[in-house]
A and B are shown apart, each in its own frame.
Chain A
């Protein structure tokens, strides 16, 4: 098991002890779940705290914790009764989270959130932290459908096939990453979970029909692109003019080469996506592996060049 840093253990206990003090007792399982620790680690940390207190370190001056079967008890301590103040990092993150959430919450919740943020110390007077998300006119309606499992008919443009298909979907979760909104959906055309980009839905209409929640597929716990061990990876060498690729797209590895070029490994969404990326990067990007993509940039350039004949 990876050894935890002392500062992490201390910071954890400085949250855990006041939490326990507020409740006087809690089950080991509840504490372990609340603080994201396994039972053994939790007990080890609680045990550590019983060594702590103030001189002369007689029993009444130490943190007193008792474990009775599966229950943890704490005697009223003189120390560690309140958590530490929010650090600069934590305060900033809350501010950023709040700003981001204000953009996706309904008016009622947004107002309660704004007043909650105003009560947080060190946040109200801070300088502007603006979190801007892309807008999409379909967003509110899709959210509404997702909340009620309403089936929606969409026209969806695929840049891979350059075709538009008509599909019935059940929107399940909407999320924004970078410049785009995405919709985790149950797709009746494929019968599976599919991810759709909102700006590629060229038409959308509600059907007034609703799906049974039990008939919907599971979606990943956290929103994101479903890269897996089976996903294809490409290795590129990027000269200075194309190193924006490494900043713009999630990379698996970035290595600076002695030539000043950069070697990056990144997931390939599909061949068309990679072709588009390569043609934008131009001759400053070169495919190292897999070899099947060695001529992809030229092929894509030729396809576009044909329009200018």
Chain B
């Protein structure tokens, strides 16, 4: 870095010129937004649109002000509004409380700072939110990310909205794929297997339900209806895994002959107890099959490395599926 010197030269335009320019209506929206922000955080006074325009010469056009106000709010700036009384009865006025707007100083220890840097380097998200948070927290990029890393999809605006509703314990409403409308007390969110799920109490079904967030159609509406989240609620347990989707272990069971080579991945999913017989270069495994289509998809994923032995109707179902495909192509 260059040696520090006494500043000699102002940035391209001098401040005086900038002040003179202020007499004109600022054309650049970014400049207008910063000046509106500066004015409304300047002191604790509420200002009407007329007063804002008088001070800044920016808002002869109310719609311009409304647009800028909406952009600032979208950025998370808490613009407080109050309807005045007395001689200005009915007129809206605005201010921003800096304490509400600004990030408070956080005293991280060196170890905490380093851990956050490593976490942000190890987890790759597909949106700009993590990077923006990193910069706000003044965390430099970790030079040596850990050897274990995670690709995490966090690109849907529905996720923070649902998390916000869960944090505020307010009911949400949304449309779900298949044309159903749902009202949900969202208890929490789960990311597993590349998908996000919102889990909670479905007010229409009167039961715990989970929903894939990417299957929500349109937006999520936050209501003002409050709920209480059960203290011991287990978000993860409420969402069936792919293996659990095959059916209940106490229900229908299929015996499948699989190549010995496939044994490790099957044991990983179903446990060592699923192996009921060992042959030369194959094993027979017992897996749930109550959900016939999920079971079929699982066993066909093993291609020719697997053969359904029983029950006969499940075996026949698979044969029929294959015959239809062979016959129609």
Interface residues of A (CB under 8 A from B): 6-7, 9-11, 13, 15, 19, 22, 25-27, 30, 34-36, 43, 46-59, 62, 64-71, 73, 79-101, 103-105, 109-110, 112-113, 115-117, 119-122, 125-134, 136, 139, 143, 146-147, 157, 159, 162, 164, 171-179, 199-200, 202, 222-224, 247-248, 272, 275-276, 279-280, 282-283, 294-295, 297-298, 300-308
Cβ 8 A contact of B7, one of A15, A57, A73, A247: A73
Cβ 8 A contact of B15, one of A64, A122, A129, A301: A64
Cα A222 to Cα B121 in complex, Å, equals 10
Q: Is B188 an interface residue (CB 8 A)?
A: yes
Contact B150 A104 (CB under 8 A): yes
Query: What's the nearest-Cβ distance from chain B to residue A134, in Å?
Result: 8
What are 10 of the A-B contact pairs (CB < 8 Å)?
A15-B132, A66-B8, A97-B120, A119-B107, A127-B163, A202-B261, A276-B300, A283-B324, A297-B329, A301-B322
Q: Is B223 an interface residue (CB 8 A)?
A: no
Known contacts A87-B160, A179-B242; 18 additional CB pairs below 8 A are: A15-B136, A68-B8, A82-B98, A82-B102, A88-B76, A92-B129, A93-B130, A98-B119, A104-B148, A105-B122, A127-B186, A129-B191, A130-B188, A179-B194, A199-B264, A247-B215, A282-B321, A298-B325
Cα A41 to Cα B315 in complex, Å, equals 65
Query: What's the nearest-Cβ distance from chain A to residue B74, in Å?
Result: 7
Interfacial residues of chain B within 92-145, with CB under 8 A of chain A in the complex = 98, 100-109, 111-116, 118-120, 122-125, 127, 129-133, 135-136, 138, 140
Query: What's the nearest-Cβ distance from chain B to residue A44, in Å?
Result: 10
Contact B148 A52 (CB under 8 A): no
Contact B147 A143 (CB under 8 A): yes
With A93-B130, A93-B154, A130-B191 already in contact, the answer to whether A223 and B1 are too (CB < 8 A) is no
B residues near A298, Cβ cutoff 8 Å? 325-326, 328-329
Cα A101 to Cα B242 in complex, Å, equals 23
B residues near A69, Cβ cutoff 8 Å? 2, 5
> Binary interface profile of B, 23-46, with partner A (CB < 8 Å = 1, else 0)?
000101111011101110110000
Query: What's the nearest-Cβ distance from chain B to residue A187, in Å?
Result: 17
Q: Is B208 an interface residue (CB 8 A)?
A: no
B residues near A147, Cβ cutoff 8 Å? 147
B residues near A176, Cβ cutoff 8 Å? 148-151
Cβ 8 A contact of B163, one of A62, A88, A175, A179: A88
Contact B13 A25 (CB under 8 A): no
B residues near A109, Cβ cutoff 8 Å? 114-115, 118, 146
Query: What's the nearest-Cβ distance from chain A to residue B187, in Å?
Result: 7
B residues near A121, Cβ cutoff 8 Å? 103-104, 106
A residues near B325, Cβ cutoff 8 Å? 279, 282-283, 297-298, 301
With A132-B190, A146-B147, A175-B151 already in contact, the answer to whether A67 and B136 are too (CB < 8 A) is no
Cα A157 to Cα B98 in complex, Å, equals 60
Which residue of chain B has its CB nearest to the CB of A71?
A: B2
Cβ 8 A contact of B304, one of A34, A88, A115, A303: A303
With A54-B38, A86-B133 already in contact, the answer to whether A177 and B194 are too (CB < 8 A) is yes
Cβ 8 A contact of A94, one of B111, B130, B167: B130
Query: What's the nearest-Cβ distance from chain A to residue B25, in Å?
Result: 13
Contact A175 B193 (CB under 8 A): no
B residues near A64, Cβ cutoff 8 Å? 10, 15
Cβ 8 A contact of A126, one of B102, B138, B167: B167
Cα A300 to Cα B104 in complex, Å, equals 61
Contact A105 B76 (CB under 8 A): no
Which residue of chain B has its CB nearest to the CB of A200?
A: B265
Cβ 8 A contact of B148, one of A35, A57, A143: A143
Query: What's the nearest-Cβ distance from chain A to residue B32, in Å?
Result: 8
| Listed residue (B1, B13, B107) with the most chain A CB atoms within 10 angstroms of its CB | B1
Which residue of chain A has its CB nearest to the CB of B102?
A: A82
Query: What's the nearest-Cβ distance from chain B to residue A281, in Å?
Result: 9
Cα A122 to Cα B167 in complex, Å, equals 9
Q: Is B313 an interface residue (CB 8 A)?
A: no
Cα A48 to Cα B313 in complex, Å, equals 73
With A68-B7, A84-B75, A298-B326 already in contact, the answer to whether A100 and B15 are too (CB < 8 A) is no
Contact B186 A82 (CB under 8 A): no
With A52-B31, A88-B160, A199-B268 already in contact, the answer to whether A101 and B123 are too (CB < 8 A) is yes
Cβ 8 A contact of A132, one of B102, B236, B300: B236
Contact A100 B150 (CB under 8 A): yes
Contact B187 A127 (CB under 8 A): yes
A residues near B113, Cβ cutoff 8 Å? 116
| Listed residue (A36, A46, A126) with the most chain B CB atoms within 10 angstroms of its CB | A126
What 4 pairs between A and B have smallest CB-CB spacing? Answer: A298-B329, A178-B194, A127-B166, A128-B188
Contact B261 A157 (CB under 8 A): yes
Which residue of chain A has its CB nearest to the CB of B33?
A: A10
Which residue of chain B has its CB nearest to the CB of A276?
A: B303
B residues near A162, Cβ cutoff 8 Å? 259, 261, 304-305
Contact A177 B151 (CB under 8 A): yes
Contact B150 A175 (CB under 8 A): yes
B residues near A276, Cβ cutoff 8 Å? 300-301, 303
B residues near A122, Cβ cutoff 8 Å? 167
Contact B323 A305 (CB under 8 A): yes
Contact A115 B118 (CB under 8 A): no
Q: Is B164 an interface residue (CB 8 A)?
A: yes
Which residue of chain B has its CB nearest to the CB of A175?
A: B149
Q: Is B89 an interface residue (CB 8 A)?
A: no
Contact A58 B102 (CB under 8 A): no
